[in-house]
Structure 1
Amino acid sequence: MTLLLLLMVSFIATGNWAQERVWTWQCQEGRCVKQLLQRNETPQGLEACKLVCDIYSTLWPRPTGKVELGRVLVPINYNAITIIGISGEGRALSENVGQLFSTAADNFRNRLTTMFKKQEQRTSGGKSLQVQVTIHDSSTRTLTMESDESYELYISEADYSQVHCNIVSAQFFGANYGLETLSQLTTFDDAADNLVIMRDVNITDSPAFPFRALVLDTARNYFSVASIKRTIDGMAASKLNTFHWHLTDSHSFPFQSSTYPQLSQYGAYTPQQIYTPQDITSVVEYARARGVRVLPEFDAPAHVGEGWQWAGPNVTVCVNAQPWNKYCVEPPCGQLNPTNDTVYEILGGIYHDIFALFDSDMFHMGGDEVNFECWRSSLDIVNWMTSQGMGQTNDDYLQLWDMFQKKAYMKVVEANGGNEIPIVLWTSHLTAEGAIDKYLDNEIYIIQIWTTGRDAAIANLVNKGFRVIFSNYDALYFDCGFGAWVAEGNNWCSPYIGWHKVYMNNPYTLLTNLGVDVSPGTAARELVLGAEAALWTEQVDESSLDGRFWPRAAAMAERLWSNPDEGWQQAEYRMLAHRERLVQRGIQSEALEPQWCYQNEGSCPSQG
């Protein structure tokens, strides 16, 4: 007893007790198994085991083409990493793409820094890492629906002192994804106390869908530029490519218009809670260097109110009207007056300011939840309709809405230098059967679906040749499943949506279930652009932003990039690893399971 006590005191005094390694992880049948470390056995850390164990390593999203993984880890020297970018002809990259590549290379190094937990003067053993990135199109720097996001990645052990990685892509966007994949094939092995990388790798990868997005509403609650950039970081880590920015709503007007600064002066929650032109330019460029386009939305003719008070009489109607549930879906109410010419003058200025700041290849005009009772409450609108020989039926108000949409669209074209641009609209009465043929052109309009994935109207849209984006609320509304804020009980779209349902939300399957043939090569399949997860922020602010999006948005990301045939069960180990990766990078991603499950793969999901 005395000897044991002396040994314990010795361990505690020297610190060896805390450093003594008891466990190791071994890959067995595709999962990491926790085992007691045997005498003279070389231990392997959990993260190193996970890197070599799963058929797709810890890659998220999993690649879509050739995947050859050597499953042998090589230590690399953090202080001996070289990254160069060249054009397809072997020359230097153009200045514009070169700047983007330089940022992407710095981002890669920063990811390794975070992983390595590098301290000043800390030594790093291992081989040097030489990364050469070839970008064939050295001029394109703006992401569009036609952009090539594919890449090839090769890792080999050149000799006793070097590891070589070659990334080949058509455009910068694929190269950026190749660097992300390379960082995911690297980890810190805490048993070896060093960075390790997988060798003998051959990957060919490209996305299944061209549009992979998140929408953040920054009007109901304000979000700092830093939090928006953090969201974009999570998107880049998950290979999502579109940040849809819902800039304004009836609640507040945080967008600072250069033409009409009164809008944010009257409509922002505080003078500090605005997005200046400099803020927006900063976000757009930050996103561009991470392969993300920023898609602006200015929702109209509904979802307006705060900020318009200065514009004069009858520019807006039913603003903050009560009882609110008669005039809108949530307080405060408010809609533009389509019969007032000042409306279009102001819209023209707003659109001009937006196009000066954003360079997206499409524009979102909102167009949802127009309430005809709101318009009927305005004597000004009613008198104008009577003077035009119109009545007061819903069909008459659809015609009024159509008039607004056409006039507003012409202002968009003017703001875009006279060039037409694809317009995204939410599903609404205007996109319903019987109206859409009459009022909307499928060459111009893309329809974003927010109804359930079982809605027969979705099939109608595709059958009529409209391009569609899925945001079906039964799987992709991440504000669902919390307490109601305008009544008792739960909010309108409860219950909470888990990552499993998000992962299984396959747009092609939804359309197939609705009787639409979307087999490869069909015209209908080409009309499905992708999907977008939505976060409406009545009950979300910056303090809860990360947990609402992540890691569920990553589940959608793999669905849209890889579109796997298998279910979520085959992705669970990698999902848990990606969640840890997001946290490591400073994104406060929601926990999915106890940490014990992360360390004991296969022990938690029910097998029954």
Structure 2
Amino acid sequence: MNPVRAFLLLLPTLIAGDVWPTPKSLSSSSSSSCLNAEISAPVDASDRLNKIMARYNFTSSGCTDGFDSVNLIISDPSSYALNQDTDYAYNISADISGTASVTITSKTIYGAAYGLETLNQLTDEDFHSVPSSIDVVDSPSYNHRGFMIDTGRRFIPLSTIFKNIDAMAMNKLNVLHLHFADWCRYAIESDSFPSLTSSLVGDQAGHYTKQDVRDMIEYANDRGIRVIPEVDLPGHSTWGFPLKTSGDLKYCTATNPPSLLDDADGKTEATLKTIISEVIELFGEEELFHIGADEIATLDGEGCTIENIAGIETKIFQHIVDSERTPVCWEEGYYKSGGAEGFEGEAVINAWNAGPRPNDIIADGFDAIESMSDNFYLNNKPSWSAVWYDISSTPSSAESSKSPTFRGGEVSMWTDNYCYALQCGAFGPDQNVPVGAALYPPSMDDQFTSSFMGMVWPKAAIAAGAFWNYYELTDDDLKTKIEGVANRLKEAAIDACPNDCDCDELTRCGDSYIN
């Protein structure tokens, strides 16, 4: 026997606990074999599959007697489609006593990508070894495993978005929910209304060009991740104040904070439809379009009555449906304003507050996404054990958790606490200054990025694991598993919060981001 292989066989093998998210089924031998393998794919491999394979390297000059190939068997290798029905399942099989090949089987290239990620996590990089026999059968519990990024308040640099996409792919999150229009800004350039971003100057500067967004979508799609746009309305809508000045958007200024007005002349409706059509075109084939509709402000007799709010929401829902897309809103869009009434079977409702849960939403005829704020709003600094939450265990949802209309879950990072003033002044003067306000200006992008990444990772990975395959874990077991995740993130140059350390808006491990 080759002496290198003889030595490797004595190494302790990796076990299922080292892979994250934990596969549905993983068995492996207690012995290890070295891995020096090229990845082979179907002859009709797509450009995207070639990019996927290029991200993994299983070759090693020190291995001469072990696994020498990783074979991808993909039943539909040319399909690029990314939607709610995309199949991410994969199997891995290997047995050095029978063949020197590791085989990854999947229906889609995205399942193959997840198989390669799992194999990569099973590889001992120090010794270039894997278990001598491996049998993995894996698939997600939910097809919507999202991460919501709020760049409508504190602008998030494009490079930071890319780093988050890398971390998402490592942890099998597959939906980037881009909340890009809120109190502080409309963060994507508009050909129809250039003033939306040309007004963002000085400390308020920060937006994406259309090419930036195309690059973001391509980068995400290449990693099996969809990008969903959100334009928050009719509340959270001071992003449109440049168009208030021009008369293209009307507001109920008597409300605090201001809210969009469904005016009798239809000016607001027409402008919003133009904006939304432009965004739909930019985001290509993406099925979902999120309109927010949360935390609406009403003041009877001043225009923004609940009926007025419902009216503009309903018109925008219909425009999205007419554009052959699926409208999404936060829970208030149905349970407070009623704007989503009539769109049962066509719309998705995002549960986030202490009100309706997915079972209620599904019973009322809508698809549901769980974004429980107590567990999944990372800006609220939930504990690791709080984030490790079974979304199928929400009250009375035992049956609905298996329904095809329960799409899955989202973990979120809101940037309220980085605003220069409370919600960028939308609530008026003399409000408390948010704790992270010093990191709002673009000159603080580097410090902000470190702060943001430290608050998101590795906690977002915990949510990813829960959305993929939740099972009971003790706090100690969870800590052990996520320490491994944190180490992998560090190796991938993801600026995650270190193990056994606290990270918040202004500090990391007790050290301030501000000199």
TM-score bin (small chain): 0.7 to 0.9
In structure 2, give the amino acid aligned to 1:364. H
Identical aligned residues as a percent: 23
- Matching residue of 1:606: none
Q: 1:104 to 1:524 in 2, by over 3 A?
A: closer
> Structure 2 CA distance, aligned partners of 1:227 and 1:316?
34
State the shift of 1:219 in Å.
1.8
Distance in 1 between residues matched to 2:265 and 2:241, nearest whole Å = 13
Distance 1:339 1:437 in 2: 18
Aligned to 1:344: 269
Q: 1-side partners of 2:248 and 2:76: how far apart?
A: 52
After TM superposition, list the pairs within 5 Å mapping 1:35-184 onto structure 2.
49=12, 51-52=13-14, 54=15, 56-64=16-24, 66-77=25-36, 81-86=37-42, 91-93=43-45, 98-109=46-57, 124-127=62-65, 129-157=68-96, 163-184=100-121
Deviations 1:451-470 (A, max 9, x none): 13xx4565532322322111
Find the partner of 1:444 among 346, 353, 362.
Answer: 346
Output aligned runs, 1:57-456, within 5 Å. Answer: 57-64=17-24, 66-77=25-36, 81-86=37-42, 91-93=43-45, 98-109=46-57, 124-127=62-65, 129-157=68-96, 163-189=100-126, 194-267=127-200, 273-311=206-244, 312-313=246-247, 315-317=249-251, 327-328=256-257, 333-358=258-283, 359-373=285-299, 376-377=301-302, 381=303, 397-414=305-322, 416=323, 419=324, 421-428=325-332, 430-432=333-335, 436=338, 439-452=341-354, 455=355
In structure 1, C-alpha distance between the alignment counterparts of 2:261 and 2:163, rounded to whole Å: 34
In the alignment, residue 348 of structure 1 is paired with which amino acid?
K
Distance 1:442 1:71 in 2: 52
- From the superposition, tell whether residues 573 and 461 of structure 1 become closer, same or farther in structure 2 (CA, over 3 Å): same
Which residue in the other structure is 1:549 paired with? 456
Q: In 1, are the aligned partners of 2:192 and 2:275 still within 8 Å (CA)? A: yes
Take 1:587 and 1:427, find their aligned partners in 2: how far apart are those partners? 33
SS at match of 1:152: strand
Q: Which amino acid aligns with 1:182?
A: L
Distance 1:133 1:163, change over 3 A: same
- 1:100-138 CA distances to partner (integer Å, 9 max, x unpaired)? 1111111123xx69xx9xxxxxx6444463111121123
Shift of 1:351: 1.7
Deviation at 1:345, TM superposition (A): 2.4
Specify the SS of the correspondent of 2:55. Answer: helix
CA contact (8 A) 1:551 1:589 kept: yes
1:468 maps to a residue whose letter is A
Find the aligned partners of 2:213 and 2:370 in 1 and give their Cα distance.
26
After TM superposition, give the deviation of residue 252 of structure 1 in Å: 1.3
Q: Cα distance 1:158–1:235, how it changes in 2: closer, same or farther (>3 A)?
A: same
User: How far is 1:427 from its partner?
Assistant: 1.4
Distance 1:180 1:262 in 2: 43
Q: Deviations over 1:179-238 (max 9, x none)?
A: 11111111222xxxx422222101111001111111000121111111101101111111
> Retained in 2: the 8 A contact 1:432–1:457?
no
SS of alignment partner, residue 63 of structure 1: coil
Answer yes or no: is the 8 Å Cα contact 1:465–1:524 preserved in 2.
no
Partner secondary structure for residue 50 of structure 2 = helix
Q: Matched residues in 2 for 1:57 and 1:72: separation?
A: 16
Higher mean C-alpha deviation, range 401-410 or range 177-186: 401-410
TM-score, structure 1 as length reference: 0.70
1:246, distance to aligned residue in structure 2 (A) = 0.3
- Aligned residues of 2:74 and 2:107 also touching (Cα < 8 A): yes
CA distance in 2, matches of 1:228, 1:101: 22
Shift, 1:559, TM fit: 1.0
Deviation at 1:476, TM superposition (A): 0.8
Distance 2:311 2:103 in 1: 55
Equivalent of 2:417, from 521, 536, 539? 539
Q: Is the 8 A contact 1:129 1:164 kept in 2?
A: yes
Partner of 2:470, secondary structure, is: coil
Aligned AA (2:92): L
Distance 2:357 2:121 in 1: 40
Whole-Å Cα distance in 2 between the matches of residues 231 and 44 of structure 1? 37
Aligned length: 464
* Structure 1 vs Structure 2 CA RMSD: 2.9
Do the aligned partners of 2:291 and 2:329 also contact (CA within 8 Å) in 1? yes
Q: How has the CA–CA distance of structure 1 residues 376 and 134 changed in structure 2, closer, same or farther, with 3 Å as cutoff?
A: farther
Equivalent position SS for 1:364? strand
Distance 2:9 2:250 in 1: 66
Structure 2 letter corresponding to 1:92:
D
Partner SS, residue 372 of structure 1: coil
For residue 153 of structure 1, give the secondary structure of its aligned residue in structure 2. strand
The 1-side partners of 2:139 and 2:111 are apart by: 8
SS in 2 for 1:100: helix
- Offset of 1:285 from its aligned partner? 0.8
Q: Closer, same or farther in 2 for the Cα pair 1:565/1:265, shift >3 Å?
A: same
Is the CA contact (8 Å cut-off) linking 1:70 and 1:200 kept in structure 2? Answer: yes
Q: Distance in 2 between matches of 1:195 and 1:542?
A: 33
SS in 1 for 2:199: helix
Q: Secondary structure at the match of 1:188?
A: coil
Instruction: Give per-residue Cα distances to partners, 1:128-153, cap 9 Å, x unaligned.
Output: 63111121123321211111110111
- Segment of structure 1 superposing worse, 263-272 or 338-347: 263-272
C-alpha deviation, 1:567, in angstroms: 4.4
Query: SS at 1:354's partner residue?
Result: helix
Q: Using the alignment, how far apart are the partners of 1:457 and 1:184 within structure 2?
A: 35
Q: Secondary structure at the match of 1:203?
A: strand
Distance 1:339 1:305 in 2: 20
Give the AA of the match of 1:593.
D
Q: Which runs of 5+ in 1 are unaligned?
A: 1-41, 117-122, 383-396, 481-495, 595-608
Distance in 1 separating the partners of 2:70 and 2:357: 49
Whole-Å separation in 2 of the counterparts to 1:362 and 1:181: 29
User: Match of 2:394?
Assistant: 510
- SS of 2:18 mapped into structure 1: coil
Q: Please report how far the alpha carbon of residue 361 of structure 1 lies from its aligned counterpart in structure 2 after TM superposition.
A: 1.5
Structure-2 change in CA distance of 1:523 and 1:477 (3 Å): closer
Separation (CA, whole Å) in 2 of partners of 1:166 and 1:103: 19
